[in-house]
């Protein structure tokens, strides 16, 4: 097996195992295709960093970090194709994102059932009022009732 370590992320040669890397802007259309049925998520090369796990050249898992106009960074768009779930690919994509974006505080609304998963990357629960406005605006429809929305505001402080 051919293995290299790049920025703390283990990369395996294509065809031998999963390959994890940040997408270039010209590859965002491939991510958008994977995300098509996931909340209408699309990548914006001007604001987003997108990390993907590939198997045999095909994207099987994604994680996105979006810079909002207020400068804050929001993690979302974590998605693994249904046929590839349960193999740790989302963990690989989120790990790549956290390592690459470690210089910034990261914020998110985590699906309640996945709060423990994100805690493994250093995310902690915070009051919604502590989220930056760019992140908070995405859930204004919940009108402060996050329990009904089944999401939890979380933050990961900058650093490795």
pLDDT tens across 48-102, in order?
A: 999 999 999 999 999 999 999 999 999 999 999 999 999 999 999 999 999 999 9
* Residue 118 lies in domain: 3-156
Token pair, residue 125, equals: 């629960």
- Three-state SS string across the chain, please? CCEEEECCEEEECCCCCCEEEECCHHHHHHHHHHHCCCCCCCCCCCCEEEEEEEECCEEEEEEEEEECCCCCEEEEEEEECHHHCCCCHHHHHHHHHHHHCCCCCEEEEEEHHHHHHHHCCCCEECCHHHCCHHHHHHHHHHCCCHHHHCEEEEEECCCC
User: What total number of domains does the chain contain?
Assistant: 1
pLDDT at 145 over 70: no
Percent of the chain with pLDDT over 70: 84
pLDDT of the residue at 138: 72
Res 3: pLDDT: 43
4 falls in which pLDDT band (50, 70, 90)?
very low
Provide, rounded to the nearest whole percent, the portion of the chain with pLDDT above 90: 73
Mean pLDDT of 12-40: 86
User: pLDDT class for 149, splitting at 50, 70, 90?
Assistant: low
CATH number, residue 28: 3.40.630.30
């Amino acid at each position: 097996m051919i293995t290299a370590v790049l920025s703390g992320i283990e990369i395996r040669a294509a065809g031998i195992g999963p390959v994890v890397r940040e997408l270039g802007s010209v590859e965002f259309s491939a991510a958008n295709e994977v995300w098509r049925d996931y909340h209408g998520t699309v990548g914006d090369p001007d604001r987003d960093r997108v990390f993907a796990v590939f198997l045999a050249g095909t994207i099987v898992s994604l994680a996105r970090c979006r810079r909002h106009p207020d400068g804050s960074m929001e993690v979302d768009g974590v998605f693994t194709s249904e046929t590839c779930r349960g193999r740790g690919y989302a963990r690989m994509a989120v790990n790549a994102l956290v390592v690459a974006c470690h210089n910034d505080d990261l914020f998110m609304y985590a699906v309640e059932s996945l709060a423990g998963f994100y805690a493994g990357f250093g995310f902690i629960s915070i009051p919604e009022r502590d989220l930056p406005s760019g992140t908070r605006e995405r859930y204004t429809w919940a009108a402060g009732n996050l329990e009904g929305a089944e999401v939890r505001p979380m933050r990961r402080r900058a650093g490795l």
